[in-house]
Amino acid sequence: MALATVFWFATAAPAFAQQMGIIATVNSAPISEYDLRARLELVMAMSGLPRNRQTVQQLAPKVVDTLIEEELKRQEAEALGIEVSQEEVQSAVRRFEQARNMPAGAMLEMLKTMNLSEEVLYQQIRADLSWRDALRRRFRALTQVSDEEIDEELARMEAEKGKPVALLSEIFLPVDQPDKEQEVRAVANRIISELKNGAPFQTMATTFSQSPTAAVGGDLGWVSVGTLAPEAGRALAAMKTGDYSKPIRSRDGFSVYWLRDQRVSQGATGPAADPQIELQQVTIPVKDVSPTSGAENELDLAKRLRLRANNCQDMADMPRTVAGGLTADRLKLRLSQLSPLVKESIKDLPDGKPSEVIKVPGAYMLFMVCERVAENSEEIVRAQVRRRLIDARLDLAARQFMRDLRRNAFIERR
């Protein structure tokens, strides 16, 4: 399909777009022009990329590849008899919103304003959930981590004590076919350009990254620089805190890193391994979510509310005392479960003090830490190591398995 046609159809009415043709088949299963158009609209809206011909030209090939992979995931799950319930999908939507600091229901409301069906989002979520279950079923042995393996990893971490570590986030773009390398590199460079222009890294990661860390905004946590691939280590050595790397080529694709912080390793245990946070949040919805909306009234309200927030109870009471459709939630969760955006906003925030006003899709938000429970037990550290080892194994297996599925599938692009 000509890219000019893609751009025209990306601005077409949904009812007409649904009448359009097929752009690819995967083992005879069709992917339609409407599928492409709808996903392009969603990607541009979530990433903040400008909605123009250049964006469509760069994104369309990548989005087609993503739709092909999602169809392969769906077919693999179907072959294994895996079904994803509507309750699982809705729970995933809520996690999707929370990871982006969006109020409940904001994603579906955004789709409505874009004249897109909720199935545009649900299709992507079903593919990811069913693929996760398929991997665990196919590679069940990889999820078994022995105490000896955990001990070895803890010993390695302790040996890194005193050496540099980096707080990293990543966006990983696979290169599944050699002739796609320049195309993927161009997408990576475009992502970096948008990041430098202010696009949130978390949003770009969840939109584009094909790594499991995409689910948490690309957050890799603290990583020993010495354990990274040589090309990544060299790139980080030349970076300052807050910098984005250039696209770094590895065997499987390109990675873009965000160096969020640096320090010296404190070994296997270090300070509070993963403290529990009691967090109060207030959401001020923005009525007009169009790109041209400045939402000055809502921003002014958020700033005034921040000045009134003296404690967590004050914030919890705001929806009952202030008009504007506010919502307030009290959350208890581990620090590792917070999105990078929230982590950054509360990093140096004293307990009982409101954060700065944070802009998220469809709303402004305020946060306040009510309590931090610092724990550093051996069980917590070992559980973290176990989870990290399993994720790394499944990530490697997933990439190889997807290459095999693509190689063995009959894929026709039209």
Boundaries of every domain in the chain: 3-138, 162-265, 276-373
CATH fold for domain 162-265 = Chitinase A; domain 3 (3.10.50)
φ, ψ (nearest 5 deg) of residue 164:
-70, 140
pLDDT for res 269: 61
222-280 tens-digit pLDDT? 888 888 888 998 999 899 999 999 999 988 899 999 999 888 887 766 544 567 788 99
75-108 tens-digit pLDDT? 999 999 999 999 999 888 888 777 666 778 888 8
User: Model-level pTM greater than 0.75?
Assistant: no
102 closest CA partner among 327, 279, 368: 327
Q: In angstroms, rounded to a whole number, what is the distance separating the alpha carbons of residues 87 and 51?
A: 33
200-224 tens-digit pLDDT? 888 788 788 888 787 777 888 888 8
- Which residues fall within 8 angstroms of residue 176, CB to CB, at 6 or more apart? 65, 402, 403, 406
Quick one: 3-138 is in which CATH superfamily? Answer: Porin chaperone SurA, peptide-binding domain (1.10.4030.10)
Q: Which CATH number, 3.10.50.40, 3.40.50.300, 3.40.50.1100, 3.30.930.10, labels domain 276-373? A: 3.10.50.40
Q: In angstroms, rounded to a whole number, what is the distance separating the alpha carbons of residues 304 and 306?
A: 5
198: left (phi over 0), alpha (psi -120 to 50) or beta: left
Residues of the chain with pLDDT under 70: 1-20, 99-101, 268-274, 288-295, 336, 374-377
Q: In angstroms, rounded to a whole number, what is the distance separating the alpha carbons of residues 189 and 236?
A: 17
The three state secondary structure string of 8-25 is HHHCCCHHHHCCCCEEEE
Identical fold for domains 162-265 and 276-373, yes or no, is: yes
Mean pLDDT of all residues belonging to the chain: 83
The first and second tokens of residue 395, run together, are 């990530």
